[in-house]
């Protein structure tokens, strides 16, 4: 086999591997999705993972109003809305009367909107590797989506360990 054919076959193989590994659990269609959801997202200009999370929720039909704030304004916004310090992450979204803090999967947002629980919102605290917008190849850390109410009471809303 000549060198050109070998290089071409190698290129196709690498392209296939990249395509297969690029697919994410977060790209799969959501069962029982909800229509007409808008998320007003508040984020800093410097955070790339926020843009990736916005792409994730848009991919699942959630409309986005993207609001870029400086870091001080963003922290003030989180305080104003009463997001507990231990649940804070890099971006905040307002979805109807609910708050969404951090890299919450679109499926959990849709479930919240559909079920209308008596909570203030959902959070994925910090920036968990493998969560929507935080994909890093095959690296995935287990995480929980935490619900919280206005008094600060929390509960596990959903967990992801083998995803």
Is pTM beyond 0.85 here?
Answer: no
- pLDDT tens digit string along 60-79? 999 999 999 999 999 999 99
Neighbours of 57 (CB within 10 A): 25
Percent of the chain scoring above 90 in pLDDT: 75
pLDDT tops 50 at residue 13: no
Residue boundaries of the structural domains of the chain: 3-160
Short-list 114, 100, 109, 102, CA closest to 148: 100
pLDDT of residue 31: 78
Report the run of H or E that residue 115 belongs to, with start and end.
Answer: helix 106-115
Exposed, middle or buried, 71 (CB in 10 Å: 0-12/13-18/19+)? exposed
pLDDT tops 70 at residue 109: yes
């Amino acid at each position: 086999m000549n060198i050109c054919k070998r290089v071409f076959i190698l290129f196709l193989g690498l392209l296939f591997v990249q395509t297969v590994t690029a697919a994410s659990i977060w790209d799969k269609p959501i069962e029982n999705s909800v229509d007409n959801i808008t998320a007003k997202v508040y984020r800093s200009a410097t955070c790339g993972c926020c843009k990736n999370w916005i792409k994730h929720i848009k991919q699942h039909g959630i409309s986005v109003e993207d609001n870029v704030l400086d870091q001080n304004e963003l922290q003030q916004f989180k305080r104003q809305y009463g997001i507990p310090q231990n649940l804070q992450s890099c971006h905040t979204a307002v979805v109807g009367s609910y708050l969404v803090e951090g890299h919450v999967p679109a499926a959990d947002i849709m479930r919240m909107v559909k079920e209308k629980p008596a909570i203030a919102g959902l959070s994925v605290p910090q920036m968990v590797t493998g969560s929507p917008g935080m994909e890093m190849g095959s690296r995935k850390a287990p995480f929980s989506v935490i619900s919280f109410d206005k008094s600060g009471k929390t509960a596990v809303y959903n967990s992801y360990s083998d995803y």
